[in-house]
Structure 1
Amino acid sequence: MLALLNNLRATVGKNALALNSNMTKLAQAHSDYQSAIKTMTHDDTKPLGDRVTACGIRWGGVAENVAYNSKTVPQVIDAWTNSPGHYHNMIGDYEIVGFGETNLYWTQDFARYL
């Protein structure tokens, strides 16, 4: 997923994102949560910014993409690319990213350092 995302970002002159292990744990936990409640949602026990702070990242901007039922990474990237809000997040001014997937509940979490 990182390679596809960074290839997309390169086409519009954006920096490559770095995969961050804390953001990946965060995104995976959110996919697990969505699967557990069987609902695609941005809602969780805390807002995204609080979740990013809790994993030790001092951030200046955050965003999240979620999806359900895409069977493959290329399919979910294509779905997000064709959705203006999700696309905006994928090409946004972020530095780090994490990904998660559980039972076809997908999450991308983005952050820019403070």
Structure 2
Amino acid sequence: MSCAAANHVSERKNTKAVPSTGFEKLFLSKVNVVRSKARKCGDEYFPAAPALILNHILNKAAHKHSQDMSKHQFLEHTSSNGDTLVERMQDVNYLWSAVGENIAHNQNSIGQVIEDWLRSPGHCSNMMSADYTQTGVANVNKYWTQVYATPK
């Protein structure tokens, strides 16, 4: 099961991209392979998009959301305390001009979650959008979160 959300409004504090864990780098590598080729997401055509870079603040936000979904056994873009993606970005002080999120549950591998997202127009659009330059990723007990953003 998967869900996609996107916003394009301004919020919080700018941050720098930094190296992350092996899991995060592998996820990033696989997503950037997807972005390197033009594709259709539903009825919408996307040209190849520039590679995303990992951001430790976005990794933290993704991990916190995956952890929350795992702990409370739910799959939603709204956190168990009612926070939206925008509010979660405020909580980690990330200033953005564009932000989006893909979530999923029960996939066994990075490859499987990416393939599932590619079959969904909304998720595929988030992955392919050139509006996003940075990402953060997490998997907690098969609760997957990928946050996409562009800093302000």
Query: Normalising TM by the smaller chain, what interval?
Result: over 0.9
Q: Distance in 1 between matches of 2:140 and 2:77?
A: 15
**TM-aligned CA deviation for residue 105 of structure 1:** 0.5
Retained in 2: the 8 A contact 1:24–1:98? yes
Aligned to 2:110: 73
Aligned to 1:97: 135
RMSD: 0.9
Aligned to 1:27: 62
Aligned to 2:148: 110
Q: Distance in 2 between matches of 1:11 and 1:52?
A: 29
Identity %: 35
Number of aligned residue pairs: 114
* Structure 1: gaps (5+ residues): none
**TM-aligned CA deviation for residue 80 of structure 1:** 0.4
* Structure 2: gaps (5+ residues): 1-26, 39-47
The alignment partner of 2:36 has SS state of helix
Return the letter of the residue paired with 2:31.
Answer: L
Aligned to 1:37: 72
Which one has the bigger helix percentage? 1
| Higher Cα Rg, which structure | 2
Q: TM-score, normalised by structure 2?
A: 0.72
Q: Distance in 2 between matches of 1:81 and 1:94?
A: 17
Comparing 45-54 with 81-90, greater Cα deviation is found at: 45-54
**TM-aligned CA deviation for residue 53 of structure 1:** 2.7
Return the letter of the residue paired with 1:7.
Answer: V
Aligned to 2:97: 60
Comparing 5-14 with 51-60, greater Cα deviation is found at: 51-60
Q: Distance in 2 between matches of 1:109 and 1:64?
A: 4
Q: Distance in 1 between matches of 2:132 and 2:65?
A: 19
